[in-house]
């Protein structure tokens, strides 16, 4: 099972909105629709941003939202802030043989 495909980098100015895509296949995102998003600052552990239920854990800003269309999951960050500069990873279920499949990660730069 190959990793999910994410853009290597995205950028935006403070206040803008950006969307990070996570492209899978009909064997993971497309069929199971179970995916989550994580934020990772350098030298830190990943932090859950969007759960598989599409919800934000307590403490996560409502500027973060997730969606899905076909084989692609998306993370949208609105009202970009400097502290959003980090790496973002998607993770999807691909069946019981590969219960967790990560994307290659996207580095977000806030200009």
Partner 1 sequence: QVTLKESGPVLVKPTETLTLTCTVSGFSLSAHAMGVSWIRQPPGKALEWLAHIFSDDEKPSSPSLKSRLTISKDTSKNQVVLTMTNMDPADTATYFCARSLNYGEDFDFWGQGTQVTVSS
1 vs 17, beta carbon nearer partner 1? 1
- Contact assessment for residue 81 and residue 64, using Cβ atoms and an 8 Å cutoff: no
What region, left, alpha or beta, does residue 37 occupy, with left being phi > 0 and alpha being psi -120 to 50 degrees?
A: beta
Least distance (Å) between residue 106 CB and partner 1: 10
5 vs 78, beta carbon nearer partner 1? 5
Residues that bind partner 1 (CB under 8 A): 1, 3, 32, 34, 36, 38, 45-48, 51-52, 57, 89, 91-93, 96-105
Within the chain, where are the H helices? Answer: 29-32
Question: Residue 69: CB partners within 8 Å, gap ≥ 6?
Answer: none
84 vs 88, beta carbon nearer partner 1? 88
47 vs 63, beta carbon nearer partner 1? 47
Least distance (Å) between residue 26 CB and partner 1: 16
């Amino acid at each position: 099972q190959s990793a999910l495909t994410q853009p290597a980098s995205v950028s935006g100015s403070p206040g803008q909105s950006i969307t990070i895509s996570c492209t899978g296949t009909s064997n993971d995102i497309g069929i199971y629709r179970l995916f989550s998003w994580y934020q990772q600052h350098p030298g830190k552990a990943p932090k859950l941003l969007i759960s598989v239920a599409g919800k934000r854990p307590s403490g996560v800003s409502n500027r973060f939202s997730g969606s899905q269309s076909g084989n692609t999951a998306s993370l949208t960050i609105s009202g970009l802030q400097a502290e959003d500069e980090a790496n973002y990873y998607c993770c999807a279920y691909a069946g019981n043989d590969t219960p967790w499949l990560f994307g290659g990660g996207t580095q977000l730069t806030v200009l």
